[in-house]
Structure 1
Amino acid sequence: MRQCIILTGCLAVLFTSTVYAQSKGATDGFPLKITGYFGLVHPVATLQNSDIKMNFDNSYSVGFVSGISFQKNPKFGYSLEIVSMIEATSHSSTVKNIVIQPGVYFPLKGGWTITNRFSFETNGRYGITPSVGKVLVKGNHPVSLTLPLPMRIGNEKDFSIGTAVLFTVGI
């Protein structure tokens, strides 16, 4: 966990620092854009040990996403997400997990974005989460739809891969 915090801090400094020459400030014609967002992620299915677990089988899980993005140039940016996962059954509900996800994103034409994140879960699992997203509503508070593909290992469990649907609103 300590290495994750140090890595995240180093990446944040790397992507947000500005270096100036002796004679003139270098801006590359693209100002630093810092944006925040929040949203909901709905896991759909997870494959582990040849067993597929659907979200509504025995419980319902939903994640509350908050994130911040730093874009230094038009080709890529850095993003940090924190996701609180809640699991509800017919008898109770609980915070199942907190997921910390630093990563890089690559904006494409037409409002599409490809993102790859490192993922660190408080339950001891870790891995990567590649995703593809699309801005559905542009403006001051853009609405996006993203399809993440979480891949996890660790905590003495076998490899798992899942699918989810993420809706976000920019702030």
Structure 2
Amino acid sequence: MVLTISPAFSQTTTTTPVAFPRMAAYLGVLHPLVTIDQKGSETNFNRYYTVGFPIGINLWKTGNLGFSVEIVPLIRAENGTSKVANVLFHPGVLVNLGNDFTFAGRLAFETSGRYGITPVLNKIVKRGKTNNYFVAVPIPIRFGNDKPTALTVGFQFGIVF
């Protein structure tokens, strides 16, 4: 009698469970769209153009809850010149909402002297082997520096590593 051992193949594949804590970094481009305060509304792309470049690190403690910190240099182009007009320090809490949606509740501290909060709704729109692509809608609410309270709606897109 001859005993033969053959490898067995399965129809299903298994995925490796994600280990926590887990860290991810990201880069993005932020376009503030409209800002509203007691004086009315002001739109980007009109008299000036402001663009931000969020750079951040997310530390997921579990699959549902994490911490994030980002720094956002903001460049303003106006009257034929441009400059870094503000730098934002933006720590916050991440909540996984499922279906590739994440809520970020952020504190905001700006070099312009303003401060506040920024709720952000984020969606992964394309998954890759080594990175993911996302879009987000941040809604900054700012106070301080002898200016009226302001609410802005923005659009952000980027890549997560």
TM range (shorter): 0.7 to 0.9
Distance across 2 between alignment mates of 1:162 and 1:108: 23
Q: State TM-score, norm by structure 2.
A: 0.86
- Render the CA deviation track for 1:78-121: whole Å, top value 9, x for unaligned: 00010000000242001110000000010121100111000000
What is the root-mean-square deviation in Å for CA atoms of aligned residues?
Answer: 1.1
Aligned residues: 143
**Percent of pairs identical after alignment?**
34
Cα pair 2:89 2:109 within 8 Å, conserved = yes
Task: State the shift of 1:146 in Å.
Answer: 0.4
2:148 to 133, 158, 161: 158
Q: Does 1:43 align with 2:32?
A: yes
Match of 1:124 in 2: 113
2:23 to 1, 15, 34: 34
Match of 1:146 in 2: 136
Q: State TM-score, norm by structure 1.
A: 0.81
Relative to its length, the structure with more helix (as a share) is 1
Match of 1:66 in 2: 55
Cα pair 1:71 1:77 within 8 Å, conserved = yes
Cα pair 2:92 2:107 within 8 Å, conserved = yes
Match of 1:115 in 2: 104
Distance across 2 between alignment mates of 1:133 and 1:91: 33
- Give structure 2 stretches of 5+ with no counterpart: 1-17
